[in-house]
Structure 1
Amino acid sequence: MSQILSLQNLANLQPAIAKPGYRRAELRAGILHIGVGNFHRAHQAVYLDDLFNAGRDRDWALIGAGIRSGDRAMRQALEPQDWLSTVVELEPGANHARVTGAMVDFVPIGEDGRAIVQALDDPALRIVSLTITEGGYCIDPGTGVFNPEHPDIVHDAAHLKTPRSAFGVILVAIKRRRDEGLAPFTIMSCDNIPHNGHVAKEAVAGLADLIDPSLAAYVREQVAFPNSMVDRITPATTYRERAALVERFGVQDNWPVFCEPFRQWVLEDHFPSGRPSLEEVGVTFTPHVAAFELMKLRILNGGHAAIAYPAGLLGIHFVHEAMKDRLVRCFLDKLEMEEIIPCVPPVPGVDLQDYYRLIARRFSNPDVGDTIPRLAQDGSNRQPKFILPSTRDRLRDGADVTGLALVSALWCRYCAGLTDQGRPFALDDPNASRLTPAALAAREDASAFLSLTDIFGDLSKNPVFRSRFEAALSRLWREGTRATLEAYLGERL
């Protein structure tokens, strides 16, 4: 018989399921987290759960928060189960389940963020952490810098009492704490963005620039924004995962988390108001975060983008199935070894080719069940962060970009919304309404897509990139994905 997840039912769960070794009453909140999704609950919340189980730092529990209507669904799912989450680590042939209890509350969701601001009046909350996705940072994709003309920023600059962006909420809370003589909290980004701490800082300070230069100066001089690198493959939760949890472990969880066994967190140690002792549970504190971050964004996230679009066009649904496809796997191997890894700077203590081999094994894990549609979503935000920087670096060095341009061409072809077999699919991207018409027009004129300068920036005018992109896209439409990959791979097949 299955058990509904709750504090009351913890003792009734199967013995094989790991449970919190502490009482909820022993925890006090020290971190407010904006953007409670699967990744956060499989990553930061797990590290804190480990720390609390070790008897350490139980004044650093989590309070969840969100500012979008979609966050309301997560709060409604977790509230009946006392904010507990079941996390299933998908080791092939040996899945392991645990219940984490690091979250002790979840701020009520409002469209104006005032409940979060009020929660942050509590001086015990010394860190605000973020997983708001790459698209939540109000960055101009073409330049990679803060965009003061982003609609959310324009709104918050004019209506700061009712902010609708995470950074508007944070700025209001910083101002209130400053005015009340309280120390500012540290803002810890956990999103896949190069120099994510610096990017978050420019978003908060950039918004303040539009409102009050003295407040902007205070943000830049007094508020800490440590950089970080985070990593764990965490698929979306569907009926499949909920049913598997009941079948394998007898637990009814409204929103369980399934993830790979591997996890990594690299942090800059810049927390003036204190931090939990996360180094005790495997977090790496280093001044070299940027090196780890660049490695991960280029090799792992770039690798995800590289396989997502050809696999999607070929009608492949699961990531591990894509890795079994000889053409897709060989394409990834060649691209990584010849064009991506050569422009990744050295990382202390890491062999980059060994790191890639680890990534390939992780992508191939059949139990994770990660999907190609998840990897392919939000390409207009991900291409400028994961693929195009490598392209720029190689062009700067006079190196060829045939493979990287092919990735961009595959994305363009994918944005047309049709598989090679002619089956239509919905493009999951906030800019889908302009991407799809541009991609269809690019079948006859590639400049229709390359003219999206907010995405491609100066690359749209680079003759080498344009030539490689146009040739790849033409072949994709003329001969299909398999023939195009075969032509690229040549003697490697």
Structure 2
Amino acid sequence: MTSKLSLATLASLPKSVGTPSYERQDLRAGIVHFGVGNFHRAHQAVYLDDLFNAGLGLDWALVGAGVLPSDEAMRSVLAAQDNLTTVVEQDADVSSARITGAMIDYLKPGDAESIVSKLADPAIRIASLTITEGGYFIDPASGTFNPAHPDIAADGAAPDKPRTVFGLLVAGLKRRRAEGIPPFTVMSCDNIPHNGVVTKNAVVGLAQISDPELAAWIAAEVAFPNGMVDRITPATGAREKTIAKEEFGIDDQWPVFCESFKQWVLEDNFPAGRPPLEKVGVQFVPDVSPYEHMKIRILNGGHAVIAYPAGLMDIHFVHEAMENELVAAFLRKIETEEIIPIVPPVPDTDLADYFALIERRFANPKIGDTVRRLCLDGSNRQPKFILPSTADRLKQGLPVPGLALESALWCRYCYGTTESGKTIEPNDPSWDRLQKAAKTAREDPMAWLAMEDIFGEVGRSEVFRKAFATALDALWKDGTEAVLRRYLAGDL
């Protein structure tokens, strides 16, 4: 027997399913969150649910906000189940399900006035974001905010009719300033190096276009703490909905599946106050940089390393990629020889132990994370997760055979066919551009590196250009498996 998820059916769920110990009517909104996706619901919302279950911070409930028309699908599903979410945590040998209720409302996407009004509410003291790496209007090569982007230019020209997340934040801060209300803290929860700084640059940069005085006030008065977030959370599909029904008796139209591991490291810079998240495992530190550097280079970079060879070899799930001896050995060799040696020390952390934990997490067969998800959006992810390691090694005069091969594998993937000849469906917002460059690069490898906005100085390095061309030529001549074997043997 299954129960359609709602507040009314919580009591009828199997006893094995965890449910909120707090009453929803006791919660009061304190955070507006942009980007109510799977990661947010498996991470920030879970930490808050833990806090509320402990009877703490009940005035820090979430109000969701969407910007894109596609956000309406999530809002409609969650509204029909009283904004409750099923979170299924899966380890190799055990699975558990819980219902979280930390979000009490979800504002309609595109309703700018309602969102700005909520942002101006004095009860809202944090505005948080999980809008993906590609949502910050960053120039990939320089890593700086791009004020010329058409969406930003439009918000700069019509600040009272904001359409982007940053336009809404600026409008909300402008209204609070006019009404004498202290500003909220803006907290990014995305996997971007120095995500607080990046967010500040976007908010201040947009305000600068239409109101330099407001921009100066935001720069001086608004806090943008950096943070590092971590939890592997695959996309939801029919498989996940079926497991929720058959194994846990829950009819949830958008459940979230994730690993049991989670981590959140935050700089403690919240002038308007914050929930006592340290009570539920969040680490507050003076400087998050060592932690985010470690995670983005080793974990997110590791995902990219296994993604493209696995995708080319028609491997579907991430754990299956880790079961492939070539892919697993490729990951270990690049990490131990090229990535980890240039990661600075992290307080109370052994990097070898950290990587061993990541290998176990990637190999978890219960997660059902897909290789295609890891291959997604390389044009935004490669400049953040892989190319910084490449650039650092080149600056130090160190070789980059593995990292150059990773870039060549990405190029080969974007050609659009696997080794078996299957078509790779578009898997990047810039797919047409990438595919055109990849096809040209089959005969002229430098055509791939000519994407200056992505490769920047790395693409101009003669050492990298030579290693990349050698790897790409070998991939086309001998195939992925043979090239991986050559690299592992030190013959590339």
Q: What TM-score range do you get, normalising by the shorter chain?
A: over 0.9
**1:12 Cα deviation from its structure 2 partner:** 0.2
Query: Is residue 226–residue 269 contact of structure 1 (8 Å, CA) maintained in 2?
Result: yes
Q: Does 1:154 align with 2:171?
A: no
Residue of structure 1 equivalent to 2:132: 133
Residue of structure 1 equivalent to 2:422: 423
For 2:329 and 2:101, the matched residues in 1 are separated by 42
**1:167 Cα deviation from its structure 2 partner:** 0.4
Q: Does 1:478 align with 2:477?
A: yes
Q: Does 1:26 align with 2:26?
A: yes
**1:491 Cα deviation from its structure 2 partner:** 6.2
**1:439 Cα deviation from its structure 2 partner:** 0.3
Residue of structure 2 equivalent to 1:375: 374
Residue of structure 1 equivalent to 2:13: 13
Query: Is residue 234–residue 367 contact of structure 2 (8 Å, CA) maintained in 1?
Result: yes
Residue of structure 2 equivalent to 1:363: 362
Query: Is residue 134–residue 191 contact of structure 1 (8 Å, CA) maintained in 2?
Result: yes
Name which of structure 1's ranges 276-285 and 142-151 shifts more when overlaid on structure 2. Answer: 142-151
Instruction: Report SS of the residue matched to 1:188.
Output: strand
Residue of structure 1 equivalent to 2:105: 105
For 2:94 and 2:167, the matched residues in 1 are separated by 44
For 1:475 and 1:190, the matched residues in 2 are separated by 39
**1:427 Cα deviation from its structure 2 partner:** 2.5
Segments of structure 1 that go 5 or more residues without pairing to the other structure are none
Residue of structure 2 equivalent to 1:95: 95
With structure 1 as the length reference, what TM-score do the two structures score? 0.99
Query: Is residue 120–residue 173 contact of structure 2 (8 Å, CA) maintained in 1?
Result: no
Instruction: Report SS of the residue matched to 1:69.
Output: coil
Deviations 1:6-37 (A, max 9, x none): 00000000000000000001100100000000
For 1:249 and 1:297, the matched residues in 2 are separated by 34
Residue of structure 1 equivalent to 2:121: 122
Query: Is residue 166–residue 202 contact of structure 2 (8 Å, CA) maintained in 1?
Result: yes
For 1:114 and 1:345, the matched residues in 2 are separated by 45
Cα distance, 1:210–1:491 mapped onto 2, change above 3 Å: closer
Residue of structure 2 equivalent to 1:47: 47
For 1:77 and 1:254, the matched residues in 2 are separated by 7
**1:94 Cα deviation from its structure 2 partner:** 1.3
Residue of structure 1 equivalent to 2:228: 229
Instruction: Report SS of the residue matched to 1:419.
Output: coil
Instruction: Report SS of the residue matched to 1:417.
Output: coil
Residue of structure 2 equivalent to 1:442: 441
**1:115 Cα deviation from its structure 2 partner:** 2.2
**1:113 Cα deviation from its structure 2 partner:** 2.7
Residue of structure 1 equivalent to 2:431: 432
Matches within 5 A, 1:11-410: 11-110=11-110, 113-410=112-409
Instruction: Report SS of the residue matched to 2:186.
Output: strand
The one-letter amino acid paired with 1:384 is P
The one-letter amino acid paired with 2:303 is H
For 1:77 and 1:156, the matched residues in 2 are separated by 29
Deviations 1:271-324 (A, max 9, x none): 000000000000000013010000000000000000000000000000000000
Deviations 1:188-247 (A, max 9, x none): 000000000000000000111111111110111000000000000000000110011100
The one-letter amino acid paired with 1:382 is R
Deviations 1:372-423 (A, max 9, x none): 0000000000000000000000000010000001111100111111001111
For 1:426 and 1:158, the matched residues in 2 are separated by 36
For 2:257 and 2:445, the matched residues in 1 are separated by 40
For 1:123 and 1:103, the matched residues in 2 are separated by 18
Name which of structure 1's ranges 152-161 and 308-317 shifts more when overlaid on structure 2. Answer: 152-161
For 1:377 and 1:113, the matched residues in 2 are separated by 29
Query: Is residue 109–residue 115 contact of structure 1 (8 Å, CA) maintained in 2?
Result: no
Deviations 1:311-355 (A, max 9, x none): 000000000000000000000000000000011000000000100
Query: Is residue 114–residue 169 contact of structure 1 (8 Å, CA) maintained in 2?
Result: no
Residue of structure 2 equivalent to 1:413: 412
For 1:484 and 1:162, the matched residues in 2 are separated by 53
For 1:461 and 1:31, the matched residues in 2 are separated by 44
For 1:351 and 1:378, the matched residues in 2 are separated by 30
For 1:122 and 1:239, the matched residues in 2 are separated by 39
The one-letter amino acid paired with 2:153 is V
Query: Is residue 107–residue 119 contact of structure 1 (8 Å, CA) maintained in 2?
Result: no
Percent of aligned pairs with the same residue?
61
Instruction: Report SS of the residue matched to 1:210.
Output: helix
Q: Number of matched residues?
A: 491
The one-letter amino acid paired with 2:237 is T
Segments of structure 2 that go 5 or more residues without pairing to the other structure are none
For 1:445 and 1:163, the matched residues in 2 are separated by 43
For 2:114 and 2:308, the matched residues in 1 are separated by 40
Name which of structure 1's ranges 417-426 and 198-207 shifts more when overlaid on structure 2. Answer: 417-426
